[in-house]
Homo-oligomer: A and B are copies of this chain.
Amino acid sequence: MTDTRLDPVLARIDAMLPEALERLMALLRIPSISTDPAYKADCARAADWLVEDLASLGFTAASRPTTGHPMVVAHGGEAGAEGRHLLFYGHYDVQPVDPLALWDRDPFDPEVQETANGKVIRGRGSADDKGQLMTFVEACRAWKAVHGSLPGKLTIFLEGEEESGSPSLIPFLKQNRRELSADIALICDTGLFDAKTPAITTMLRGLLGEELTIHAANKDLHSGSYGGAAANPITVLTRILGRLHDENGRVTIPGFYDGVTELPEAIRQQWQGLAFDHAAFLGDVGLSVPFGEKDRTPLEMIWSRPTAEINGIWGGYTGDGFKTVLPAEAHAKISFRLVGAQDPHLLRQEFRNWVEAQLPADCTVEWKAHGNSPAGVMAIDDPAFETARLALGREWGVPAAYIGCGGSIPIAGYFKTYLDMDAMLIGFGRDDDQIHSPNEKYDLECFHKGIRSWARILAQLC
């Protein structure tokens, strides 16, 4: 099947790959570490570099100041046949490079290296997220070179604080609501399903964090003088938290599963068809048996089921040797991963009620809230999803998967909350890219096919 609009663009991408790579190398050489104030000027330089590059493609582009690092916003093109206005999101800032001694070369002197698995682009930011964001820019460039114009109405929105908690993001979205609203957002900061299978991430778990302190006596007591008669807050804490799950691994807090729906049958079947290696997933970290809910696969557990996990616990004497103390207090940090329509605010109250109902006499509990975000569930009944999925499948030669993500990527939720805009998360990273670690890399194949993938998606969506 030939496509007279697309085929010459793909050919152009192939022919111009060396130049595209050179441009990425130039961007990778700018050490735009957002969390370290020493690199503030470099972050601004990376933003300026992108503004200049986008302007050269006909975008109206600007580096927009914030109280932190600037945002890059670029508008260009005219609505195409499908009439959609697309917003593309990526981030130009990178993680710190410590420990530097574990790098094989200067993290900001990137190069293409031959490896057993093919050519890789080695350097900080190559995969997270400069290499990924440039796949979209290069697709636009090739389209412009062939057709003289961009493929459709596009906004490019690049953040410089993603690796440092995005402090300016929500204010910027609120202040520029109208300007940034589009029909759908494309976010390129995720990975393939496996080395060869492209994916669209359609389910992101939400997160609710809680910290509690159980108080008992008004001071630490000696377990000889008081042991047996005085309340031990560590014992109280273990009794309560030990009941967080029932014998089937289900969370016992009343109301916890409100808003949790079973996976649609089509998605369940598609996930069953994925060659996910459950044994290797657990085996790689020294485990063999799924720990959580009975009758759920690990893939379901991490992508589509809510959790309650104790992330930290402390109380009493924790040093060397022994001290027969009955402490005055004991502490725990607990997080819940949320799915579907679970309401984090309601759930926080339900959890607190559940703990407080179990407190014995003389014990009190003190709470500290640690943030919350609802789950992200993409509206895959929007035809744009199936269009993009088919386009990805044509590029990679295998059908693209709709997948979940156990972690929480706030940007998709922010677009929904502040701009009422759905998002499609499409990325080309591989599990071994070592993002956030020394010797980060991005496979040249992922860069190349990533550019081609966006060209195919833009040809269909715009």
Contacts and interface: CB of A to CB of B under 8 A. Distances in A.
Interface of A: 205, 207, 209, 211, 216-219, 221-232, 234-235, 237-245, 281-282, 285-293, 298, 301-302, 305-307, 309-318, 321-327, 330-333, 335, 337, 360-362, 370-371, 405-408
Nearest to A217: B285
Given A229-B302, A238-B241, A316-B310, A219 B293 contact: no
A388 B285 CA distance: 66
Contacts of A309: 223, 227-228, 232, 235, 324, 326
Nearest to A285: B217
A224 B406 contact: yes
A288 B324 CA distance: 22
B313 A313 contact: yes
Contacts of A282: 229-230
A325 B311 contact: yes
A286 B363 CA distance: 10
A310 B222 contact: no
A260 to B, nearest CB: 12
Copies of this protein in the complex: 2
17 contacts: A207-B224, A207-B324, A223-B309, A223-B337, A227-B302, A231-B291, A235-B241, A240-B242, A289-B362, A291-B362, A309-B326, A311-B316, A311-B326, A314-B314, A314-B318, A317-B333, A322-B333
A298 B230 CA distance: 8
A221 B337 CA distance: 15
B281 A229 contact: yes
Contacts of A209: 322, 324
A322 B311 contact: yes
Contacts of A331: 318
B224 A205 contact: yes
B370 A225 contact: no
Contacts of A333: 316-318, 322-323
Nearest to A324: B335
A13 B217 CA distance: 44
Contact of A291 (B244, B301, B310, B360): B360
A242 B245 contact: no
B316 A224 contact: no
A400 to B, nearest CB: 21
A287 B229 CA distance: 10
A209 to B, nearest CB: 5
Given A241-B235, A407-B224, A313 B311 contact: no
Interface centre among A245, A286, A306, A330 (most CB of B within 10 A): A286
